[in-house]
């Protein structure tokens, strides 16, 4: 009996410390990122080895879409990863983009809403930094959040704490796209809220609005297609259900877009000049 009391005290202390850790992480104090980095640095190489096998085309290379387009034309057959890479590099929305090809090697514990985070087999030694867009040939996958020397964690579109600024349809109406919603949604459907009343219709393509310096999101990347528009009675702006263009449950080869601040000044022009 005397041995049980110290164990209970220790367990109680650990539970309280864990609860405090949860509150600190919810308060975005930043301490959690250091702990995650330590875990990723220690276990990232193990996970990379245990993950799907790597192709030579994906081994830490920086490719430009223009240079690799010749390679993809010569490739008529190949592994599934090679085909995914070929599709990625031939994607019109990525033409001219600098990117790092990567493979998904781990998927986070799936909550009731599906996967929230994945780990890629590239890291800081491959030029990856936090707050970069991650894409496939179909569209946006998410953004990089935690970067270790050899692995990178990605927060997926559809995660509860990821919201993307978007433009909708041909009119380019502004809106916010996320997983949280007050209206009922089908599993893995996203919720679109327009900033002002607009003319959103089922079938409209939703693309990223873009962020300053393209971080975390580059402008113009497809994110989803409007599945249905909610009844707008009593609401300030229209809301809609959006079906993501990327199926995050079947991710394999992805690309991290390497964007940085604009280095050349924008040319000025004179209004009304012929």
Interface positions with other proteins (CB under 8 A): 4, 7-8, 11, 14-15, 18-19, 21-22, 25-26, 32, 35-36, 38-40, 43-44, 46-47, 50-52, 104-119, 146, 148, 151, 153-154, 158-161, 179-182, 184-189, 249-250, 252
Report DSSP letters for 105-147, one per residue: EEEPPPBTTB--EEEES--GGGT--SS-EEE-SSSEEEEEEEE
CB of 186 to other proteins, least distance (A): 6
Cα distances from 271 to residues 32, 265, 267, 268, 274, in angstroms, run 51, 18, 13, 10, 9
The least CB distance from residue 112 to other proteins, in Å, is 4
Instruction: Quote the CA–CA distance of 53 and 106 in Å, as a whole number.
Output: 12
CB of 134 to other proteins, least distance (A): 12
- Residue 109 beta carbon to other proteins: minimum distance, rounded to whole angstroms: 5
Instruction: Give the shortest CB-261-to-other proteins separation in angstroms.
Output: 28
Residue 208 CB, shortest distance to other proteins, in Å, is 20
- Kindly tell me which of 22 and 171 has the beta carbon lying closer to other proteins: 22
Minimum distance from CB of 260 to other proteins (Å)?
Answer: 25
* Phi, psi torsion values for 72, nearest 5 degrees: -65, -35
User: Considering only CA atoms, which of 56, 60, 52 is closest in space to residue 71?
Assistant: 56
Report the residue number, 12 or 199, with the smaller CB distance to other proteins.
12
- Considering the complex, state which of residue 155 and residue 166 has its C-beta at the smaller distance from other proteins: 155
| CA pair distance 257, 99, nearest whole angstrom | 4
User: Which CB, 30 or 272, lies closer to other proteins?
Assistant: 30
Q: Considering beta carbons, is residue 1 or 267 the nearer one to other proteins?
A: 1
State the DSSP code for 214: G
Residue whose C-alpha is closest to residue 212's, from 131, 100, 152, 99: 131
Three-state secondary-structure class, residue 168: strand
Residue position matching structure tokens 């873009």: 210
Report which of 168, 170, 172, 270 is spatially closest to residue 229, judged by C-alpha positions: 168
Which C-beta is closer to other proteins: that of 25 or that of 69?
25
58 membership: H or E segment, kind and range: none
Nearer to other proteins, 25 or 71 (CB): 25
- Count of alpha carbons within 13 Å of 50, Cβ hemisphere only? 8
Longest pairwise C-alpha distance within the chain: 93
């Amino acid at each position: 009996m005397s041995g049980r009391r110290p164990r209970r005290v220790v367990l109680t202390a650990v539970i309280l410390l864990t609860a405090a850790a949860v509150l600190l992480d919810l308060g975005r104090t930043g301490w959690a990122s250091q702990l995650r980095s330590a875990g990723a640095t220690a276990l990232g190489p193990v996970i990379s080895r245990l993950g799907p096998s790597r192709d030579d085309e994906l081994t830490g290379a920086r490719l430009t879409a223009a240079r690799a387009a010749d390679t993809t034309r010569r490739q008529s057959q190949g592994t599934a990863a090679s085909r995914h890479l070929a599709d990625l590099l031939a994607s019109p929305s990525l033409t001219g983009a600098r990117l790092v090809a990567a493979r998904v090697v781990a998927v986070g514990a799936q909550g009731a809403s599906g996967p929230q985070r994945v780990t890629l087999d590239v890291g800081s030694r491959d030029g990856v930094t936090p707050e970069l867009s991650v894409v496939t040939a179909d569209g946006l996958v998410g953004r990089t959040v935690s970067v270790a020397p050899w692995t990178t964690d990605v927060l997926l579109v559809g995660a509860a704490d990821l919201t993307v600024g978007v433009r909708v349809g041909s009119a380019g109406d502004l809106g916010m796209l996320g997983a949280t919603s007050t209206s009922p949604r089908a599993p893995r459907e996203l919720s679109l809220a327009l900033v002002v009343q607009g003319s959103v219709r089922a079938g409209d393509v939703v693309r990223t609005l873009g962020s300053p310096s393209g971080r975390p999101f580059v402008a113009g990347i497809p994110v989803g297609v409007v599945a249905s528009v909610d009844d707008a009675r009593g609401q300030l702006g229209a809301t809609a259900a959006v079906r993501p263009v990327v199926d995050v449950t079947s991710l394999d080869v992805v690309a991290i877009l390497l964007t940085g601040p604009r280095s050349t000044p924008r040319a000025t022009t004179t209004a009304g000049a012929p």
